[in-house]
Amino acid sequence: MENFEKISELNILLNYFSNQLFCELKNFMNPNVPASPLKIQPKPTQMLPNIKNTSRTVLTSTSFMKKQNIKKPPSNASFILKSMTNLTKQMTMSRRNSYEVKQLTSSISDLTNTIIIQIESNYGNPKKISCSSLDILGSHKRPLPIKSITYKSLPHCNTLQKLVNGVLIKNNEKDIWWANWPPQPPMTNITIIIHTIGEVPDSIRVWPNPMDPTSNLKNIKVYSNGVLYYSGDLPETFGLIIPLKEVRVEDDESDDENHKNEPNVSLFELKCLRECQSDFIPPLFDKYGEIPTMSCQNITIGILDSYGDPEIFSIQNIKIFDMNGEAMDVVQNCAIEAESCGNCPSPNFLFINSKNKESDLMKYKTENNSYNEYKSYVRWHGRLSKPMSKIHVRFKTPVKVSCIQFSTIVKSDEDIKIAARKVNIFAANKKIWAGRLKLSKNYDRRGCNSNTFVFFAENETLQNKILDNNDV
Listed by start position, the domains of the chain span: 2-109, 112-248+261-268, 294-468
CB 129 within 8 A of CB 192: no
**C-alpha to C-alpha distance for 342 and 383, rounded to whole angstroms:** 5
Name the nearest CA neighbour of 440 among 256, 276, 316, 295.
316
CB 244 within 8 A of CB 224: yes
Q: SS3 string of 332-360? A: HHEEEEEECCCCCCCHHHHHCCCCCHHHH
CB 272 within 8 A of CB 294: yes
> If 0-12 CB within 10 Å is exposed, 13-18 middle and 19+ buried, where does residue 25 land?
buried
pLDDT digits (tens), the chain, 472 positions: 445 455 555 555 555 555 555 555 555 555 454 444 433 333 333 333 333 343 334 444 455 445 445 444 444 555 555 655 665 666 556 555 555 444 544 444 456 888 999 999 999 999 999 998 888 888 877 888 888 888 766 655 667 888 888 777 777 788 888 888 988 887 888 889 898 888 888 889 888 888 888 999 999 999 888 888 888 888 887 778 888 865 433 333 433 443 333 333 333 333 333 333 333 333 444 444 445 455 788 999 999 999 888 999 988 889 999 888 888 989 888 899 999 998 888 888 888 765 444 444 444 444 444 444 334 335 788 999 999 999 999 998 888 888 999 987 666 666 678 889 999 998 877 788 888 888 765 544 444 567 888 888 767 788 888 888 765 4
Helix (H) or strand (E) holding 113: strand 112-119
**C-alpha to C-alpha distance for 109 and 113, rounded to whole angstroms:** 11
Query: What residues form DSSP beta bridges with 427?
Result: 299, 430
3-state secondary structure of 392: strand
Hey, how many other C-beta atoms are within 10 angstroms of the C-beta on 394? 13
Q: What share of the chain is helix, strand, coil (3-state, %, to 5)?
A: 30, 30, 40
**Residue 151: per-residue pLDDT:** 78
Q: To 10 degrees, what angle do helices 75-109 and 49-67 make?
A: 150
Phi-psi region of 378 (alpha: psi -120 to 50; beta: other; left: phi over 0): left
**Residue 459: per-residue pLDDT:** 73
CB 297 within 8 A of CB 398: yes
pTM recorded for the entire structure: 0.43
Question: Biggest alpha carbon distance in the chain?
Answer: 120
Name the nearest CA neighbour of 386 among 310, 318, 314.
310
CB 419 within 8 A of CB 314: yes
Hey, how many other C-beta atoms are within 10 angstroms of the C-beta on 1? 7
**Residue 160: per-residue pLDDT:** 83
**C-alpha to C-alpha distance for 192 and 223, rounded to whole angstroms:** 10
3-state secondary structure of 94: helix
